[in-house]
C-alpha cells in the first residue's frame, strides 16, 4: 500500500494529500514499494532519476530535474587508508540537498501547489529555491540572520523571497512553523518526500560498487536528511534482495551541538535539550532535530556509532582536504575530521564510503579566515 504513515500514532493518509505532518503533530513517513529493474537502470542516463520506479512520483511530466545525481565515487587516501568519497558538492546548487529538493518539488508540482515555505541553514533553502524556480513555484525561505553570504545570494538570485530571522537556527524553525500554517511547508526535515530523494545516495553507492553495499558509511548529521535517506535507500535494496546487508552508519556531530550523540551515548529515550554553542559546521548545528529518535534508531539498527568533532579538528581537516584538491565547506569538513578519527580502528579490507556534502565556494568568508 502506498501511503503516508505517522511515525507515532500510525495514522495513514493518501500520498495525494497536501500534508507534511500528522494530525497528532508527529512526523510522517512514506510506505511505498520501491522497484528496481537493474537491466533497465543500467541503460538509463546517469542521474538519480534512473531509479524511477523507486521514487514515488506518479507522472513523469511532474519531474523537476537538472539531470542531477550519479555523482562520482572517488577514492581518496587518508594516511595510507582509502575512503570512497561521494562528490555531492558537485550538484547544481552545490550541495547534496538537490537530491531531496528534486523529489520534493516534483511532488509539490504534482499536488498543484504554487507556493511553499522552507527554513534552512542555507543549503536546503538554496536547493528548494532553484527547483522552485525551474517549476514556477514561489518560494519563501527562512534562514538565520548569520547565514553564509554565498547561500543568501543564491536563494535570492534564484528568485525566492528571503526572510532572515534574528537569533538561532531554532528561532528560524519556529518562525517558519507560523508561516507553514497558511502555506505548504516544503521542509527538508519534516516533509517525507525529501527523504525519497536523499535515499538515491544509497542506490548510487551500491550501483557504483557493482550492486554491493559498503561495510561502513560515514555521514554528517544535523536534521538527518542524508543519514535517514541513506538508511531508507539501503533498507529498500535489502528488502528487494539486491544487497545482503545495511552498512554500519558512523554519524558525526559538532562537539558544540551534539544532541543525538548524547542521546545515543547515554541511551536516552528522548533527545536531550542541550546548551548549543557556535560552530564552524553551521549545517549540522541543529539542537532540536524533529526526526531525532528516528536518526538514533537508524544508527543503532545499523550497529553504527556517533562521533563528535571539535572546531579545531574541523579546521585542520578542512585545510588537509583542500590540500588534496577538494574545495568543500566547513560543515562538509566535519565529516573529514570524523574520517580521521575513525580510520585508525579499521581493517585494510573494510569498504568505507563517505561524502563531500557541500561546496567551498558557498562559504568564502569562512574560507578566507582559514588563511589568517
Ligand atoms: C553541507 C552540509 N552538510 C551536511 C548537512 C547536514 O544535513 P542534515 O541536516 O540533513 O543532517 C547540511 C545541512 O544543512 C549541510 O548543509
Ligand atoms: Zn500521528
pLDDT tens digits for 14-51?
Answer: 999 999 999 999 999 999 999 999 999 999 999 999 99
Sheet holding 115-119, edge to edge: 161-165, 138-144, 115-119, 184-185
Residues with CB under 5 Å of ion ligand 2 are 6, 8-9, 11, 22, 24, 26
| H/E stretch holding 365 | helix 364-370
| H/E stretch holding 85 | strand 81-86
In whole angstroms, what is the distance from residue 200 CA to residue 230 CA? 7
Give 17 Cα–ligand 2 centroid separation in angstroms: 15
Ligand 1 pocket member 367 (CB < 6 A): no
Ligand 1 pocket member 358 (CB < 6 A): yes
Claim: this prediction has a pTM higher than 0.85: yes
The mean per-residue pLDDT over the stretch 205-224 comes to 98
In whole angstroms, what is the distance from residue 152 CA to residue 49 CA? 28
Segment 111-136, tens digit of pLDDT: 999 999 999 999 999 999 999 999 99
Ligand 1 pocket member 331 (CB < 6 A): yes
Minimal-distance CA residue to ligand 1 atom 10: 225
| Res. 59: pLDDT tops 90 | yes
| Res. 248: pLDDT tops 90 | yes
Ligand 1 pocket member 289 (CB < 6 A): no
Ligand 1 pocket member 222 (CB < 6 A): yes
Minimal-distance CA residue to ligand 1 atom 5: 283
The mean per-residue pLDDT over the stretch 151-175 comes to 96
Give 1 Cα–ligand 1 centroid separation in angstroms: 31
Give me the half-sphere count of Cα atoms (radius 13 Å) on the Cβ side of residue 286.
Answer: 29
Mean pLDDT of the chain: 97
Ligand 1 pocket member 207 (CB < 6 A): no
- For residue 231, report the phi and psi dihedrals to the nearest 5 degrees: -65, -40
39 burial via Cβ count (<10 Å: 0-12, 13-18, 19+)? exposed
The mean per-residue pLDDT over the stretch 94-106 comes to 98
* Local structure of residue 113 (DSSP, 8 states): -
Question: What number does the ligand 1 atom closest to the CA of 295 have?
Answer: 11
Ligand 1 pocket member 329 (CB < 6 A): yes
Q: First vs last Cα of the chain: how many Å apart?
A: 57
Cell of 243: 544487497
Segment 288-333, tens digit of pLDDT: 999 999 999 999 999 999 999 999 999 999 999 999 999 999 999 9
Ligand 1 pocket member 205 (CB < 6 A): no
* Residue count (the chain): 372
pLDDT given at position 19 = 95
Amino acid at each position: 500500500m502506498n501511503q503516508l504513515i505517522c511515525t507515532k500514532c500510525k495514522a495513514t493518509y493518501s500520498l495525494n494529500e497536501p500534508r507534511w505532518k500528522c494530525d497528532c503533530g508527529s512526523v510522517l513517513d512514506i510506505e511505498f514499494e520501491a522497484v528496481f529493474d537493474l537491466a533497465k537502470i543500467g541503460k538509463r542516463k546517469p542521474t538519480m532519476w534512473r531509479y524511477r520506479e523507486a521514487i514515488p512520483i506518479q507522472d513523469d511530466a511532474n519531474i523537476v530535474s537538472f539531470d542531477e545525481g550519479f555523482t562520482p565515487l572517488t577514492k581518496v587516501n587518508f594516511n595510507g587508508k582509502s575512503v570512497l568519497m561521494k562528490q555531492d558538492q558537485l550538484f547544481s546548487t552545490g550541495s547534496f540537498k538537490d537530491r531531496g529538493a528534486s523529489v520534493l518539488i516534483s511532488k509539490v508540482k504534482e499536488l498543484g501547489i504554487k507556493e511553499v515555505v522552507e527554513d534552512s541553514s542555507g543549503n536546503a533553502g538554496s536547493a528548494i529555491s532553484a527547483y522552485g524556480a525551474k517549476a514556477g513555484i514561489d518560494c519563501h525561505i527562512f534562514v538565520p540572520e548569520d547565514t553564509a553570504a554565498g547561500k543568501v545570494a543564491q536563494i535570492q538570485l534564484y528568485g525566492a523571497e528571503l526572510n532572515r530571522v534574528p537569533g538561532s537556527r531554532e528561532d528560524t524553525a519556529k518562525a517558519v512553523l507560523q508561516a507553514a500554517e497558511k502555506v505548504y511547508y516544503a521542509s527538508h526535515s519534516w516533509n517525507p518526500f525529501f527523504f525519497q530523494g536523499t535515499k538515491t545516495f544509497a542506490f548510487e553507492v551500491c550501483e557504483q560498487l557493482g550492486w554491493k553495499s559498503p561495510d561502513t558509511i560515514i555521514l554528517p548529521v544535523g536534521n538527518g536528511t542524508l543519514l535517514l535517506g541513506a538508511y531508507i535507500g539501503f533498507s529498500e535494496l535489502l528488502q528487494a534482495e539486491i544487497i545482503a546487508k545495511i552498512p554500519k552508519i558512523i554519524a558525526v556531530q559538532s562537539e558544540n551541538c551534539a544532541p543525538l550523540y548524547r542521546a545515543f551515548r547515554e541511551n536516552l529515550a528522548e533527545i536531550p535539550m542541550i546548551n548549543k554553542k557556535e560552530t564552524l559546521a553551521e549545517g549540522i548545528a541543529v539542537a532540536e532535530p524533529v526526526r531525532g529518535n528516528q536518526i538514533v534508531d537508524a544508527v543503532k539498527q545499523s550497529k553504527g556509532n556517533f562521533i563528535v568533532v571539535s572546531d579545531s579538528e574541523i579546521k585542520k581537516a578542512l585545510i588537509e582536504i583542500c590540500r588534496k584538491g577538494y574545495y568543500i565547506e566547513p560543515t562538509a569538513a566535519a565529516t573529514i575530521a570524523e574520517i580521521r578519527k575513525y580510520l585508525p580502528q579499521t581493517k585494510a579490507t573494510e569498504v568505507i564510503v563517505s561524502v563531500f556534502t557541500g561546496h567551498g565556494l558557498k562559504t568564502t568568508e569562512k574560507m578566507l579566515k582559514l588563511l589568517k
